[in-house]
Structure 1
Amino acid sequence: MSTLTAQERYAAQENGENYWNDGREHELLDFIMNKPNVEELRGSPERVLEAIDDFGSKKYLMNIGKEKGKIVELGGYVGYSAILFGDALRKAGGHEYRSLEANAPFGTIIRALVDLAGLSDIVRVEVGLSHESLNKLHSQQQLEHVDMLFLDHFKPAYLPDLKLCEELKLIQPGSVLVADNVIKPGNPPYLEYVRSSTAEKRGGQKQGAGEKLGGDPDLVYESTLIESFEPTGIPVKASSPALHSSIKRLSCTEVLHVRSIPTMWHFFKNLVLLLVTFVFLPINTLIVALSSVWHAVAEAARSQTRIEDSGDALNRVTVLVTGMNMAKGLSLARMFHRRGHRVIGADCQPLSIGRLSCAVDKFYILPPPVVPGIISLSNYAEAFQDIIQKEDVDLWVSVSDVNTAIEDAFVKEAVETSTGIQCIQPDAEVIAKLHEKDAFIKHTEDMGLQVPISESVSSKEDIVSFLNRHGGLARETNSNIFIVKPNGVDDAARFDRPFLPLQSAAETLVRVDRIPFAPSKSAYIMQEYIDGKEYCTHALIIRGHVRAFVACESAEVLLHYEALPSDSPLTQKMLDFTTKQAEALGPTFTGHLSFDFLAKGSSPSEKGFDGPILLPIECNPRVHTATVLFENTPELVDEYLSALSVPSATESIPKPPLFPRNPGQYYWIAQDFVDYVLYPVYDLFCGASSLPMVLSSWLEFGRHVLYSKDGTYAAWDPLPFWWMCHVFWPVQFARHLVHGSWTKINVSTGKMFKGR
């Protein structure tokens, strides 16, 4: 580190806070523009910098100076760094330099001096709060990737702005990040974050309560601390006894290179999961072989091939079951098969697990109903009609994916008109009324039923307005808290739902500004946050009557199912709600309804209190995976087939719905092995867990294996389980080794949740 000459040194910094934004910046502009030789400066970045330094030698300026100017590139203030590095960037063949400045007068000074230096073709100045400018540039597709990011603005904004850049994917492997003044005046939160490992960041998120910490924990930086002089030129010796006091005059810059951790981590996790499928291939193949032999011997010893055939063979029907790559579709197909009926399976997924099921007499691959950006139903609907006519289908049980609910509704109307078959599928009008969260809440409120405070929002201004009308932008004691949720299907937003307001209005506004209201994404809904247990239901509705019903505890991604007792107050409340919804839809409605509830406080009754108030938060007008709980209840098939019968005069008097018989507990061993066995070991290795925690997780996995049943495996029909573990998922992992990303997996539905 060289020294500065007397001519290069700036004037000493004044004591106190009045050393910038006190008018000296405008004095600088006047000083330069009124120079007799100002025309000689025009088009010369070097001479403009010399003029700035000349003024700085007389009156202190908060510039980087020549010493640090050789090391880092900084922007803002009066444009010194923009000129210095804009010139260097142009000489190096660079594309664009953007300087973000919050202070409008400073922005004017930067533009004037940049123009004087002849750099307007490469230097762009954005005036406004940094996070607003970043979001604006990104949304306008003017800023999609940053090769170098320089932080030299409001120190508390270093960390939130860095996290914002990570979330917007501006910072990527290979980017260089430079932050000035991390020692003077200091920035411990920023330094702690950029020097943390992925495990440490994730550990911090687990320990933090409430608000998501943001950023991308998978980004890791290679850090270097560069010591340099302020432009005042005060030297510092590392061995000096006066190091503590002298360090105040030392400016330190943190230079960080983003390592390829996101790519490496994503590649690593897919590779590990792929290898796990190969490790278990021999034992699972042996299990499938033994199961098949056992089933063949058992069947040979029986006089009938259907273990639950109740004589329905005389009234055998052909049932089309779609969505068979999901456990719920496979479960229903198996139930119809075991009841003695002919099952035709169909799915848009070519590697569907349902095609290997012995419960399926014939399987068809459907064309995808949606082309990116365009709904294309003609081929999809024609495929249905061809299958129905070719296989002489009597009943279509639609098991829709969350992404195809509306498409299946349109197809239902088409095939009922053209073929006359009965469909267990809501029509498009019902889907439009119930599928989106805001429409469902409005429909339920119009029925006179209690709902949480909710409102659809389509912009950041809408959120601010909503909060101002419901308690303000700062969180107060006992005030309502609201959660921001995507109104439709949005994988990334599903796992990044902020709770608002935060402790201060400023924090709230910053968090609101980070909600991505992109045109291609769904709108959001503000909904009252209820700190209670979540429950879900599944119901079969035939002509407006609830014919089968089950309720269970729920979760964000539900992977363990256990039915609530049918006579419990909670179950009866949810059944009552479902009954009212079904009745409101009228006698022409036939399909499935699933509702999510949150428990709030207690509700009074004649006997005192009968448990919490249950508030509905959303509806899924399709089959719920909870249908697997009916596995030991073959009478469910009879309820489905009642849709084929002519309505009787007594049907107006509803009978009690069918509940699961001995439902047991259900899980998916493949998912549990990763969640309860592998991932805890990874956390332990990264220092985010402890050995007792790992052992506890393993014991929980053991309990699931001993006392729960896998939702896909069946001893008499083992191939779908084998195919799922050793063909379907390995192919997905192999594909994601090369492209695409995911954050979570739901084995029961075959879904990979994508991140932003």
Structure 2
Amino acid sequence: MSKHLYPLIAARHGLSMSIKSTNASVSTGTLSRVFWHLLRICLSFSLLFVDSTILVIAVFLSYLRPTANRHRATQRNVPFYPKTVLITGVGTTHGLTLARSWAVEGHHVVGADVTDLDLPVRSGGSMSKALVAFYQIPKDHYISRLLDVIHREKVDLWIPCSPKASFIEDATARQIIENRTNCKCITFDIDLAACFAHPDSFRQYVTERGLPVLEYHRVQSRDSVHKILNRSPAKTFQISRATPSANEKAMLLPRRTLSKTYTKVSEIQISNDRPWIMQQQSRLGELFADLLVVRGRVQAIKVRLSDSSSSTWGVSRLDEALAASVHKLMRTLAAKGGVRLTGHLSVRLSVDEEFDAHSVRHTIYIADCTPGAKAVDNLLYNVPCSISGYLSVFPSSSVDTPNIAATLSSTRSAPTFAHAGILPASFLQFSLFHFAHTALEVAEEELVKLLFWKDPLFCFLDPVPWWWQVHVYQPLREIWVLMKQTREAGLNPL
């Protein structure tokens, strides 16, 4: 009997130790998350007096500004008919930037935020004096409430900027809104949104319009691999299993010699049941083109380098020439989409070298795209916003669109807290010194956000959104999330 009893005791002891270690890991992760929430709250309250003083000064200076300079639209020599514009996601930086730009030109701006938390407080963007009205739209009733706001405010134009609503939801909303109202929408229709949502369908869309696309093949035989290599001898491909293992690395083809290429391909275990993926590789890196396309025309474009560490991008004439080529390619892409192509789009591009007998040239290939609010964020980051491109959505509009030039910009570097976010999962693996160092980095990152001249929400003519976001909305949101996580942890004990 003892022979059977000891294994049961050992198994029970092992299970108990496993549960204890799991509980310790979960409790440690919970404590570290609590620490980061409390750190942000303390940093916010520590600068409350200083920022409140800045707020009072900014409000005072804004009222000293001559009234004649506040509304440029009232000084026009031509008849001006203001539009009522609805911007969802006005709590974001790019949403508020758009709202201020429309208001400065004399239009009526209605703001809205899509909410997925039952927060008892509004975002900082909702406090902007650029808005004539503000609404909170629950995520669960997004389209119905959006339609109610458009009817109530008699909205002429809707610009979705909220990251909490997917571009598929925005496309569905556009179909309903334009069928039931006269409101125009700056978002793609449901068919284009579904096409742009998947890389394969987007590549097919680009290929059908005769534009250069980054090659991507699913191969099931060695003969297919050789055919692709022979068809594109100047290109380099990366080949890997369709479902690679964790430590498996992709191979580059072709090799330096033809014999080495054949030898390498012969070693590949490939069949219909075990397909491989061949993807074209770029020798010169990647670019992103962030676009505003209205009725098949590029109305705004920013070309940025994918490498955030590069600080020299955009200063040479070669960079300007490359940006001009990207702009030309994007104009062609938009024109081939026709008048139905309206929305924000971020296109990933690959730059490669092609060798001729006596020359080398750069070739730009379209890789994939990201439509929707993310593209708006990148397009308007640190760039003045012009609303004339948006007004071209109205066929009867007599707006003179200026010559669009490609803006060159580098990709934003990831914030320090993005690296510190992995800390809770491996809290016990770090020394106390490393934890303190990481905490200082996070504190520095959060302090930068609290400095008014570093915060894109701050504007001397409209300072309340910045102050409200930093000292009211964010602290209360941190407390709300902290209470929710604590409640969920208490309801789901291990």
Give the TM-score, by structure 1 length. Answer: 0.48
CA distance in 1, matches of 2:190, 2:81: 31
Q: What amino acid is aligned across from residue 437 of structure 1 in structure 2?
A: P
CA distance in 2, matches of 1:452, 1:429: 23
2:112 pairs with 1:346 = yes
Aligned to 1:614: 364
Aligned to 1:418: 180
Q: Please tell me whether the aligned partners of residues 305 and 409 of structure 2 are also in contact (alpha carbons under 8 angstroms).
A: no
Structure 1 residues 340-419: aligned runs within 5 Å: 340-349=106-115, 351-369=122-140, 379-401=141-163, 404-419=166-181
CA distance in 1, matches of 2:71, 2:310: 27
Q: What amino acid is aligned across from residue 296 of structure 2 in structure 1?
A: G
Which of the residues 455, 474, 478 maps onto 1:730? Answer: 478
Q: Please tell me whether the aligned partners of residues 356 and 719 of structure 1 are also in contact (alpha carbons under 8 angstroms).
A: yes
Aligned to 1:112: none
| Cα offsets for 1:249-272 (capped at 9, x unmatched) | xxxxxxxx5572354135314423
Aligned to 1:481: 238
Cα–Cα, structure 1 residues 588 and 453, in superposed 2: closer, same or farther, change >3 Å?
closer
| Cα offsets for 1:528-561 (capped at 9, x unmatched) | 5657533222211121111111111236xx8999
| Cα offsets for 1:420-472 (capped at 9, x unmatched) | 1211111001101112222112222233333333358xxxxx9xx5999659x
| Offset at residue 617 of structure 1 (A) | 2.7
The alignment yields a C-alpha RMSD, in angstroms, of: 5.3
CA distance in 2, matches of 1:398, 1:291: 29
Q: Which has the higher contact order (CA 8 A, sep 6+)?
A: 2
2:265 pairs with 1:265 = no
**Which SS does the other structure have where 1:277 is aligned?**
helix
Q: Please tell me whether the aligned partners of residues 344 and 360 of structure 1 are also in contact (alpha carbons under 8 angstroms).
A: yes
Alignment coverage as a number of residue pairs: 442
Which of the residues 54, 62, 84 maps onto 1:298? Answer: 62
| Offset at residue 690 of structure 1 (A) | 12
Cα–Cα, structure 1 residues 723 and 301, in superposed 2: closer, same or farther, change >3 Å?
closer
| Cα offsets for 1:35-76 (capped at 9, x unmatched) | xxxxxxxxx995xx9xxxxxxxxxxxxxxxxxxx95xxxxxx
2:202 pairs with 1:440 = yes
Structure 1 residues 1-150: aligned runs within 5 Å: 85=7, 147=15
CA distance in 2, matches of 1:466, 1:366: 52
Q: Please tell me whether the aligned partners of residues 291 and 718 of structure 1 are also in contact (alpha carbons under 8 angstroms).
A: yes
CA distance in 2, matches of 1:306, 1:560: 39
2:55 pairs with 1:287 = no
Q: What amino acid is aligned across from residue 293 of structure 1 in structure 2?
A: I
| Offset at residue 484 of structure 1 (A) | 9.3
2:88 pairs with 1:322 = yes
| Cα offsets for 1:278-298 (capped at 9, x unmatched) | 223242553254234324323
Cα–Cα, structure 1 residues 407 and 528, in superposed 2: closer, same or farther, change >3 Å?
same
Q: Please tell me whether the aligned partners of residues 552 and 561 of structure 1 are also in contact (alpha carbons under 8 angstroms).
A: no
**Which SS does the other structure have where 1:549 is aligned?**
strand
| Offset at residue 412 of structure 1 (A) | 0.6
Q: Please tell me whether the aligned partners of residues 270 and 733 of structure 1 are also in contact (alpha carbons under 8 angstroms).
A: no
Cα–Cα, structure 1 residues 395 and 411, in superposed 2: closer, same or farther, change >3 Å?
same
Give the TM-score, by structure 2 length. Answer: 0.70
Which of the residues 643, 646, 655 maps onto 2:396? Answer: 646
**Which SS does the other structure have where 2:482 is aligned?**
helix
Structure 1 residues 461-500: aligned runs within 5 Å: 480-481=237-238, 500=249
CA distance in 2, matches of 1:608, 1:666: 31
Aligned to 2:323: 571
CA distance in 2, matches of 1:306, 1:281: 33
CA distance in 1, matches of 2:133, 2:458: 20
CA distance in 2, matches of 1:527, 1:739: 47
| Offset at residue 389 of structure 1 (A) | 1.8
Aligned to 1:716: 461
| Cα offsets for 1:374-405 (capped at 9, x unmatched) | xxxxx433222221121121111122537511
| Offset at residue 613 of structure 1 (A) | 3.6
CA distance in 1, matches of 2:71, 2:356: 46
Cα–Cα, structure 1 residues 315 and 499, in superposed 2: closer, same or farther, change >3 Å?
farther
Q: Please tell me whether the aligned partners of residues 285 and 722 of structure 1 are also in contact (alpha carbons under 8 angstroms).
A: no
CA distance in 2, matches of 1:667, 1:479: 29
Q: What amino acid is aligned across from residue 145 of structure 2 in structure 1?
A: A
Cα–Cα, structure 1 residues 290 and 590, in superposed 2: closer, same or farther, change >3 Å?
same
2:103 pairs with 1:337 = yes
| Offset at residue 306 of structure 1 (A) | 2.6
CA distance in 1, matches of 2:331, 2:177: 28
Aligned to 1:582: 334
**Which SS does the other structure have where 1:346 is aligned?**
strand
Aligned to 2:231: none
As a proportion of its length, which structure holds more helix?
2
CA distance in 2, matches of 1:569, 1:268: 49
Q: Using the TM superposition, name which of 323-332 and 299-308 deviates more.
A: 299-308
Ranges in structure 2 where 5+ consecutive residues have no aligned partner: 227-234, 253-263, 270-276, 490-494
Cα–Cα, structure 1 residues 701 and 354, in superposed 2: closer, same or farther, change >3 Å?
closer
**Which SS does the other structure have where 1:646 is aligned?**
coil
Cα–Cα, structure 1 residues 260 and 614, in superposed 2: closer, same or farther, change >3 Å?
farther
CA distance in 2, matches of 1:630, 1:352: 21
Cα–Cα, structure 1 residues 295 and 571, in superposed 2: closer, same or farther, change >3 Å?
farther
Q: Using the TM superposition, name which of 564-573 and 338-347 deviates more.
A: 564-573
Cα–Cα, structure 1 residues 579 and 710, in superposed 2: closer, same or farther, change >3 Å?
same
Aligned to 1:593: 345
Cα–Cα, structure 1 residues 470 and 45, in superposed 2: closer, same or farther, change >3 Å?
farther
Cα–Cα, structure 1 residues 626 and 498, in superposed 2: closer, same or farther, change >3 Å?
farther
| Offset at residue 597 of structure 1 (A) | 2.3
Cα–Cα, structure 1 residues 287 and 561, in superposed 2: closer, same or farther, change >3 Å?
farther
CA distance in 1, matches of 2:221, 2:434: 38
Q: What amino acid is aligned across from residue 615 of structure 1 in structure 2?
A: Y
Structure 1 residues 185-264: aligned runs within 5 Å: 257=21, 260-264=24-28
Which of the residues 286, 293, 296 maps onto 1:534? Answer: 286
Q: What amino acid is aligned across from residue 717 of structure 1 in structure 2?
A: D
Aligned to 1:8: none
| Cα offsets for 1:302-325 (capped at 9, x unmatched) | 123636547469422211011223
| Cα offsets for 1:700-748 (capped at 9, x unmatched) | 9999999x9533333333343344444335246525743789xxxxxxx
Q: What amino acid is aligned across from residue 81 of structure 2 in structure 1?
A: N
**Which SS does the other structure have where 1:599 is aligned?**
strand
Q: What amino acid is aligned across from residue 434 of structure 1 in structure 2?
A: F
**Which SS does the other structure have where 1:639 is aligned?**
helix
Which of the residues 285, 304, 309 maps onto 1:552? Answer: 304
CA distance in 2, matches of 1:411, 1:719: 31
**Which SS does the other structure have where 1:408 is aligned?**
helix
Aligned to 2:230: none
**Which SS does the other structure have where 2:138 is aligned?**
coil
**Which SS does the other structure have where 2:143 is aligned?**
helix
Aligned to 1:37: none
CA distance in 2, matches of 1:396, 1:666: 28
**Which SS does the other structure have where 1:644 is aligned?**
coil
